[in-house]
């Protein structure tokens, strides 16, 4: 079994590494100059060259990949080519395919709002008609899709024949925990990939209110920073605030928990039962984030305990071995 994960993202490298740990010949391919591309096994950076050259590069690598790999596991609703013409070519060669949906490329606003989440936002570049059209095209060639949790499940389930919940993977061994101790000026970190989608406005409002009230702390908004530099900043934090609108957690929460930090994030009430019962995230939405931050600031004795719980949580529920075994079960069904 030879598996290729593509086209970009932090998840492709973690999952390919996890599969290799279970004896699977797996590789990750980053097609573009994405900020996580340096983690991938194969890095093309096709967007750094003229379009005609990029097209030749992609076509050449695609032809080689058709000979080399048995399974193509795509992510984020994308494939080798923007028009998805590779899907038919892969199918005609008798190769297997799977899709891993991770967020905005699948999150349909009307369905999200029907879940009772009044806060959810979607990317304007992914309007509902485009999402539905893309899901219809992908599922006409791909039978099996993966999602990281039950928040994304209802968006893709009507399209694919089979949808599997495969948890995010993180190699905790790469994250040395530093459990926060009480201090006079704790560091609070918020690192949104998109401010409008993560609820940054509400974090900033809460921080400004707490500062005005005289609470002592340092706040860092982490944006457009190399990943390794951001990780160094997270490691010094006492509190990490993740997303407040979507209703689930992702990479920032996992990295922060792996480092032993208390994490504030919005988890939809109806989804709580779908996560392991020991989830230690401090649940807060745009209305309650001020209270959540204030409570942690005034109870520093909780920080280390929450950090220890978070570290155990990611080790138990997001380890590479667990994710790899989940994927292997999916591949055996293709």
Residue 48 has pLDDT above 80, yes or no: no
- Both tokens assigned to 51: 């379009």
Instruction: For residues 76 and 215, state if they share a domain.
Output: no
Quote the pLDDT of residue 234: 94
Quote the pLDDT of residue 46: 73
Residue 18 to residue 28: CA distance in whole angstroms: 11
Instruction: For residues 279 and 140, state if they share a domain.
Output: no
Instruction: Give the global pTM.
Output: 0.92
Instruction: For residues 60 and 164, state if they share a domain.
Output: yes
Instruction: For residues 326 and 223, state if they share a domain.
Output: no
pLDDT > 90 fraction of the chain, expressed in percent and rounded: 78
CATH number of the domain to which 24 belongs: 3.40.50.2000
Residue 185 to residue 216: CA distance in whole angstroms: 6
DSSP string computed for 185-208: S-EEEE--SSHHHHTHHHHHHHHH
Instruction: Band the pLDDT of 36: cuts 50, 70, 90.
Output: low
How does pLDDT run across 179-200, given as a tens digit for each residue? 999 999 999 999 988 888 899 9
Quote the pLDDT of residue 178: 96
Instruction: Band the pLDDT of 35: cuts 50, 70, 90.
Output: low
Count of positions (residues) in the chain:
334
Provide the b/e sequence for 302-330 (b: ≥16 CB within 10 Å).
ebbebbebbbebbeebbbbebbbebbbeb
Quote the pLDDT of residue 56: 85
Instruction: For residues 70 and 165, state if they share a domain.
Output: yes
Q: Which domain holds residue 99?
A: 2-169+319-331
Instruction: For residues 309 and 323, state if they share a domain.
Output: no
Q: Between the CA atoms of 145, 149, 154 and 158, what dihedral angle is there, to the nearest 10 degrees? A: 10
Residue 276 has pLDDT above 70, yes or no: yes
Instruction: For residues 61 and 183, state if they share a domain.
Output: no
Instruction: For residues 308 and 206, state if they share a domain.
Output: yes
Residue 156 has pLDDT above 70, yes or no: yes
Per-residue DSSP letter, 174: G
Instruction: For residues 218 and 76, state if they share a domain.
Output: no
Residue 9 has pLDDT above 70, yes or no: yes
Better-scored residue on pLDDT, 11 or 16? 16
Quote the pLDDT of residue 34: 67
Q: Work out how many domains the chain is built from and give that number.
A: 2
Angle, CA 273 vertex, CA 270 and CA 274 arms, to 5°? 95
Residue 269 has pLDDT above 80, yes or no: yes
Query: How far does Cα 315 stand from its chain's mean position?
Result: 17
Instruction: For residues 165 and 229, state if they share a domain.
Output: no
Instruction: For residues 135 and 17, state if they share a domain.
Output: yes
Better-scored residue on pLDDT, 9 or 312? 312
Residue 38 has pLDDT above 90, yes or no: no
pLDDT mean across residues, the chain: 93
Beta strands in 51-205 (DSSP E): 71-75, 96-100, 144-147, 162-165, 187-190
What would the mean pLDDT of 298-318 be, rounded to a whole number?
A: 97
Instruction: For residues 11 and 145, state if they share a domain.
Output: yes
């Amino acid at each position: 079994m030879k598996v290729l994960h593509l086209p970009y993202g932090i998840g492709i490298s973690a999952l390919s590494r996890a599969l290799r740990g279970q004896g699977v010949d797996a590789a990750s391919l980053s097609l573009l100059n994405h900020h996580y591309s340096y983690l991938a096994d194969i890095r093309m950076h096709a967007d750094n060259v003229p379009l005609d050259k990029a097209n030749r590069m992609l076509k050449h690598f695609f032809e080689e990949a058709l000979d080399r790999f048995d399974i193509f596991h795509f992510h984020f609703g994308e494939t080798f080519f923007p028009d998805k013409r590779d899907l038919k070519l892969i199918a005609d060669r008798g190769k297997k395919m799977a899709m891993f949906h991770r967020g905005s490329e699948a999150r349909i606003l009307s369905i999200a709002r029907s879940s009772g989440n009044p806060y959810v936002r979607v990317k304007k570049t992914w309007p509902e008609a485009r999402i539905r059209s893309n899901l219809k095209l992908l599922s006409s060639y791909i039978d099996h899709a993966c999602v990281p949790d039950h928040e994304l499940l209802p968006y893709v389930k009507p399209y694919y024949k089979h949808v599997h919940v495969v948890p995010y993977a993180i190699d905790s061994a790469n994250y040395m925990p530093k459990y926060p101790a009480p201090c006079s000026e704790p560091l609070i970190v918020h690192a949104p990939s998109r401010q409008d989608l993560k609820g940054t406005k509400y974090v900033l409002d809460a921080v400004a209110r707490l500062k005005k009230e005289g609470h002592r702390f340092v706040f860092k908004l982490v944006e457009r920073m190399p990943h390794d530099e951001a990780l160094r900043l997270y490691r010094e934090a006492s509190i990490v605030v993740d997303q407040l609108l979507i209703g689930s957690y992702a990479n920032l929460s996992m990295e922060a928990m792996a480092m032993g930090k208390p994490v504030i994030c919005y988890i939809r009430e109806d989804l709580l039962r779908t996560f392991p019962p020991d989830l230690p995230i401090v649940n807060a939405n745009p209305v309650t984030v001020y209270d959540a931050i204030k409570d942690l600031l005034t109870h520093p004795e909780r920080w280390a305990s929450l950090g220890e719980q978070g570290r155990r949580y990611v080790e138990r529920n997001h380890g590479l071995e667990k994710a790899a075994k989940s994927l292997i079960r999916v591949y055996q069904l293709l």
